[in-house]
Amino acid sequence: MTPCTTRFSRLCYGLLFIFALAPLAPALRAQTETKPWPVKIVILATFERGADTGDQPGEFQFWVEREHLDEKLDFPGGVRALRSNADHTVIGMVTGTTLVNAGASVMALGLDPRFDLTHAYWLMNGIAGVNPEVASLGSAAWANYVVSDVAREIDPREAPADWPYGLFAIGALRPNTLPDRPLVATDRIYAYALNAGLADWAFRLTQNIKLQDTPEMQAARAAWQGFPNAQRPPFVLKGDSYASDYFWSGRIMTQYADDWVKLWTHGQGTFVMTEMEDSAVAEALRRLTAMHRADYQRLMVLRTGSDYCMQAPGGTALAAVTAPYPGFIPALESAYAAGSTVIHALLADWPKYADHIPGD
């Protein structure tokens, strides 16, 4: 084949290739022009009882209805469809309950190519068991720390007689002490420090808002003689979150949770809320940040008390853990009241907060 023939053949093949691609051009152009949504806010709830709107609410429903998250988005990586507002700047997600669901859902959202989450603020909010030594039903706590539940355990009936409970740190030889030897596994994080400046800013913004109170909550508070904070009407405070897949209750377990939070935060943390998701959310966001998919420093954890995490004077731990939640709906209202105040402030001044985290 002569050089001239070769050049002609290449031209023909080039033209054929162009003609073959012509029908695909609109689709390719659309794909090229499509950009991820620049999300400003991600709202995380852990469960919803039924539909997203119009029935008995879980943690998600008030957000969907009141923030007009009207657009449904398929989300195979999660437990439920996502919700978005009209301009796609606010995304709502139900993570699913327990640590395994929450962590997997947040990772799936963070890796979803439809969304640019690099400047998004994440609000983890939901109901929790509240420590009556510190706060009351319906109270809302902004966390500086989320503490995980990875521990050794022996049945307390087989523990030494002077032990307060049968739970203790891996690598330690007794409760309420840090490991005194190197651990075989070094991949565990026991306490996740959140952005303290952001938490302080959120607290200052919400500390004076009035939270819902009800006659049922007032009656429940009356039983807490000797616990002045448990008898207060609902209020906003700073307080930390202990995440565990155990759904526990009782005075002994409350003492353990209080000791555990202090132990792993080196005395800086205060146990206020017990729940089943927050450390998994923090770990997922930590990894997404390392992948340049999110910003861990923009995570806020807000928990509200739906029930006390131990029995009232004269009661039993079994009765406490099996009783209905006297503060269920008010706790949902508190989560929305405090959380939406912060979200609206971020959105109202977005040109500033897009690149500058409040409190920094």
What's the confidence (pLDDT) of residue 184?
Answer: 80
Confidence grade of residue 175 (pLDDT, cut at 50, 70, 90): very high
For residues 113 and 128, what is the distance between their CA atoms, to the nearest angstrom?
A: 32
Share of the chain above pLDDT 70, in %: 91
Pairing type for strands 145-147 and 191-193 reads: antiparallel
In the 8-state DSSP scheme, what is residue 308? E
Residue-wise pLDDT tens digits, 283-310: 999 999 999 999 999 999 999 999 999 9
Say how far apart CA 241 and CA 155 lie, in whole Å.
Answer: 25
Here the tokens at position 139 are 């109270």
Instruction: Please list, in sequence order, all residues whose beta carbon lies within 8 angstroms of the beta carbon of residue 156, skipping any fewer than 6 positions away.
Output: 163, 165, 166, 252
Q: What is the pLDDT of residue 24?
A: 39
- Band of residue 186 on the pLDDT scale cut at 50, 70, 90: confident
Instruction: Return the beta strands (E) in the chain as ranges.
Output: 37-38, 41-45, 71-73, 82-84, 90-94, 115-116, 121-130, 140-142, 145-147, 152-153, 167-168, 191-193, 236-238, 240-243, 271-275, 299-308
- Return the structure tokens found at 58: 């879980």
**Token pair of 166, please?**
């049968």
Q: Report the chain's mean pLDDT, rounded to a whole number.
A: 92
CA dihedral 141, 254, 270, 120 (to 10 degrees): -40
Task: Reduce the DSSP state of residue 353 to 3 states and report it.
Answer: helix
Q: Identify whether the C-beta of residue 269 lies closer than 8 Å to the C-beta of residue 304.
A: no
What's the pLDDT band for 7 if we cut at 50, 70, 90? very low
Question: Which of 163, 148, 265, 140 is CA-nearest to residue 209?
Answer: 140
Q: What is the pLDDT of residue 187?
A: 86
**Of 181 and 333, more confident:** 333
CA pair distance 329, 138, nearest whole angstrom: 9
Interatomic CA distance for residues 87 and 325, integer angstroms: 36
Lowest mean pLDDT of 80-94, 140-154, 172-186, 276-290, name the range.
172-186
Given pLDDT bands bounded at 50, 70 and 90, which one contains residue 180?
confident
Helix or strand or coil: residue 329?
helix
Task: Concatenate the DSSP letters of all residues of 154-221 into one string.
Answer: --GGGS-TT-S-SEE-TT-SSTT---SS--S------EEE--HHHHHHHHHHHTTPPPP--HHHHHHH
pLDDT score recorded for residue 167: 97
Angle between helices 328-348 and 196-206 (to 10 degrees): 110
| CA dihedral over 157, 161, 167, 172, signed as positive or negative | negative
- Furthest CA-CA distance within the chain: 102
In this structure, the strands spanning 140-142 and 236-238 are parallel
For residue 274, how far is the Cα from the chain centroid?
12
Domain spans of the chain, in order of start: 36-150+188-353
Query: Which top CATH class is 36-150+188-353?
Result: alpha beta
Average the pLDDT over each of 15-24, 131-140, 345-354 and give the range with the smallest value.
Answer: 15-24
Residue 219 has φ and ψ, to the nearest 5°, of -65, -40
Amino acid 19: pLDDT? 42
Task: Note the pLDDT of residue 18.
Answer: 38
pLDDT of 5 above 50: no
Is residue 4 classed exposed, middle or buried when 0-12, 13-18 and 19+ CB atoms within 10 A define those classes?
Answer: exposed
**pLDDT of the residue at 320:** 95
Taking only the tens place, the pLDDT of each residue in 215-270 is 999 999 999 999 999 999 999 999 999 999 999 999 999 999 999 999 999 999 99
